[in-house]
Amino acid sequence: MPVHRSGSGTTRRSRLAAAGSLLAALALLLALPGAAGAADVPQRGTARMGQGVIAHDGQQGGSPTGPAAVQTEGVDVSGHQGNVAWQTLWNSGVKWAYVKATEGTYYKNTYFTQQYNGSYNVGMIRGTYHFATPDTTSGAAQANYFVDNGGGWSRDGRTLPGVLDIEWNPYGAQCYGKTQAAMVSWIRDFTNTYRARTGRDPVIYTATSWWKDCTGNNASFGATNPLWVARYNTTVGELPAGWGFYTMWQYTSSGPTVGDHNHFNGALDRVQALANG
């Protein structure tokens, strides 16, 4: 009588099919964004203003709309832009600029001189910003590092107060591993130290959604620190608690010549007033 082996053949085919499915699933997983894990984390020092806005808040195209009040165009730049065509920006109507000076206590913008002096030389009112990393060192340490490496202020009518850029963490946990209370304390440490060193309250750059998540929508800075809000949309939308209006609005990361374009909430004389303190 012949021996039937159909059962064992079916089992073998099932195992092969299962193995093939497993390999296909693994290939799909490796192709997914973020599958590389740590390899996707950017190099320290490369963070730039608004880096996380599109990923977290999205971007809506079109020209900004809103109150009929005069707005003055400005840009912000970092080492990401390299040497900037300042004359081109000036000719297009850009009248003020902020340049990244530092990050944490470990990075200084290698294009700082070209960007900071270049904007000034074409006639712009300019200032500098610090990209905060609250998980690396204290607020006071970072404020001092900022002031010591380009973040100071002088009453020359052309220098804006420094900016604390506090937003999504490109290197890890969104709120840098801090509780909301600890984050508020860190920001207070930075702003108090900056004021003690320069005599000016720094501008705070943030996005409303991040501020809500990571500070609990703390309202205690609005009376002292000008607000620079990030929202890539046709309207500025909701502001963080404590601020009844914005001083600056970063409305796009895809503007002409330099991607990050901003509105100052007022005519050029108001930009000058902020510079003069």
Q: Is 167 an active-site residue?
A: yes
145, burial (CB in 10 Å: exposed 0-12, middle 13-18, buried 19+) = buried
Consecutive H or E run containing 194? helix 180-198
Give residue 51's Cα distance to chain centre. Answer: 5
Q: Is 213 an active-site residue?
A: no
Distance CA 229, CA 217 (A): 14
CA distances from 204 to 4, 162, 236 (A): 79, 9, 16
Distance CA 211, CA 174 (A): 11
Annotated active-site residue in 57, 103, 165, 260: 165
Would you say 161 and 200 are in contact if contact means Cβ atoms under 8 Å apart? Answer: yes
Q: Is 165 an active-site residue?
A: yes
Annotated active-site residue in 76, 103, 201, 260: 76
Residues forming the active site: 76, 165, 167
